[in-house]
Amino acid sequence: MSRFAWSTVCVLVAVGLILALVENVSYQACLLAGLGACYVALLAAGSLVPRLDFYLHAVRRGPADHPWVALTFDDGPNPATTPLLLELLQRERIPAAFFFVGEAARRYPDLVARAAADGHLIGNHSDRHGYGWAVSSAEQIFAEFAAASRTLAGILGQPPRFVRTPAGVSSPHLADALQRLQLRNVAWDVRGLEGVYRDPERIAAWVARRGRNGSIILLHELYYGVCHFKPGQVLATAQLTIERLRSRGFHFVRLDRLLEQPDHAAVSSDRNTSLETGALLVEKGAGQAMGYCDVATIASRAGRAG
Ligand SMILES: [Zn+2]
């Protein structure tokens, strides 16, 4: 039972008690109005704050056993930024995750294909990156995310397994839609706040300070529909974030591998059955190809970064 369902039951019980126990009509009206306002505020907070897990659970970080973090980028593909990021990630030998918007993917399918060919994970970031779906019907919500999955499947040959809703927005019908599409809902525990800080140095410092073992790092290709964050800033932010996190001893692991480590998968009820036993896709040193490493080898090399 979700927190939304529990809250609704509690509110209905409270309404019943007010009606049964409060005889003064004006007191009764005040209490009901106050309760209604609190309930509406709770619904809004549940929709806008992923960490509340109000309507459904969103994964925010992986296991904290090793100093591994996953780098993720939202809002592409975009010809001004995606190629820059792909070149950077290839240079740095880092496997990342791109949460692509369906309608942008239809415009730039080559960028989607290139990102996947480079070894990055491709996720669903809705079809139009709007927010109206959050207050629409179950079928409209399903259609919004189904269209993006269909587009990505048409380009990649298989549908995405992970979804991140725009800004992490949620709604009462979202869980059903994602279940039907077999999409796992992923949020983040550290985000760049590019729209607030603007300066790549400050953004990278902010992210590096908050990074922990298992962190899912959210950076943006562009703030969707907002042009104040330039491609050069996107690239510099990613580069500096990588440097800062590495200087703290973190290694970059692809999102799906971070979440599906064998020790974590053993206690995870929704692990993916395609997990390669004992192998993780991780970054490797300069001059080496990105690839699969033995978990024990990585773990023995890696100290705990906190
Ligand atoms: Zn977005």
Q: Determine the distance separating the centroid of ligand 1 and the alpha carbon of 129, expressed in angstroms.
A: 6
Dihedral angle over CA of 291, 296, 300, 305, nearest 10: 70
| Average pLDDT value for residue range 162-169 | 92
Higher per-residue confidence, 85 vs 51:
85
* Per-residue confidence band for 263, with pLDDT thresholds at 50, 70 and 90: low
Q: Determine the distance separating the centroid of ligand 1 and the alpha carbon of 297, expressed in angstroms.
A: 36
Q: Determine the distance separating the centroid of ligand 1 and the alpha carbon of 193, expressed in angstroms.
A: 12
| Among the ranges given (7-21, 43-57, 99-113), the one the predictor scored with the smallest mean pLDDT | 43-57
* HSE, side-chain direction, 13 A CA sphere, residue 70: 29
pLDDT value of position 223: 61
Instruction: Return the structure tokens found at 248.
Output: 């703290």
pLDDT above 60 for 292: no
- Model confidence over 212-230: pLDDT tens digits? 999 999 999 976 555 567 8
Would you say 115 and 85 are in contact if contact means Cβ atoms under 8 Å apart? no
pLDDT above 80 for 22: yes
pLDDT value of position 224: 59
Q: Determine the distance separating the centroid of ligand 1 and the alpha carbon of 223, expressed in angstroms.
A: 7
Would you say 163 and 186 are in contact if contact means Cβ atoms under 8 Å apart? yes
pLDDT value of position 91: 97
pLDDT value of position 21: 84
Using DSSP, state whether 188 is helix, strand or coil: coil
Q: Determine the distance separating the centroid of ligand 1 and the alpha carbon of 291, expressed in angstroms.
A: 28
- Model confidence over 70-79: pLDDT tens digits? 999 999 999 9
Q: Determine the distance separating the centroid of ligand 1 and the alpha carbon of 75, expressed in angstroms.
A: 5
**Catalytic residue ranges:** 74, 220
Q: Determine the distance separating the centroid of ligand 1 and the alpha carbon of 221, expressed in angstroms.
A: 9
| Among the ranges given (103-107, 196-200, 244-248, 288-292), the one the predictor scored with the smallest mean pLDDT | 288-292
- Model confidence over 56-72: pLDDT tens digits? 888 999 999 999 999 99
What share of the chain has pLDDT > 70, as a percent? 83
* Per-residue confidence band for 299, with pLDDT thresholds at 50, 70 and 90: very low
* Per-residue confidence band for 304, with pLDDT thresholds at 50, 70 and 90: very low
Neighbouring residues of 158: CB distance < 8 A, sequence distance ≥ 6? none
Q: Determine the distance separating the centroid of ligand 1 and the alpha carbon of 130, expressed in angstroms.
A: 9
Long-range contacts of residues 193-201, Cβ cutoff 8 Å, at least 24 apart: 194/219, 194/220, 194/223, 194/229, 194/233, 194/234, 194/237, 195/223, 195/226, 195/228, 195/229, 198/228, 198/229, 198/233, 200/233, 200/236, 200/237, 200/239, 200/240, 201/240
| Among the ranges given (46-50, 169-173, 200-204), the one the predictor scored with the smallest mean pLDDT | 46-50
Name residues with Cβ closer than 5 Å to ligand 1, which is an ion: 74-75, 166, 224
Q: Determine the distance separating the centroid of ligand 1 and the alpha carbon of 127, expressed in angstroms.
A: 11
* Per-residue confidence band for 25, with pLDDT thresholds at 50, 70 and 90: confident
| Average pLDDT value for residue range 39-60 | 80
* Per-residue confidence band for 262, with pLDDT thresholds at 50, 70 and 90: low
pLDDT above 90 for 264: no
Q: Determine the distance separating the centroid of ligand 1 and the alpha carbon of 277, expressed in angstroms.
A: 33
pLDDT value of position 135: 79
Tell me the pTM.
0.79
Higher per-residue confidence, 40 vs 269:
40
Residue closest to 250 by CA, chosen among 200, 207, 202: 207
* Per-residue confidence band for 211, with pLDDT thresholds at 50, 70 and 90: very high
pLDDT value of position 286: 36
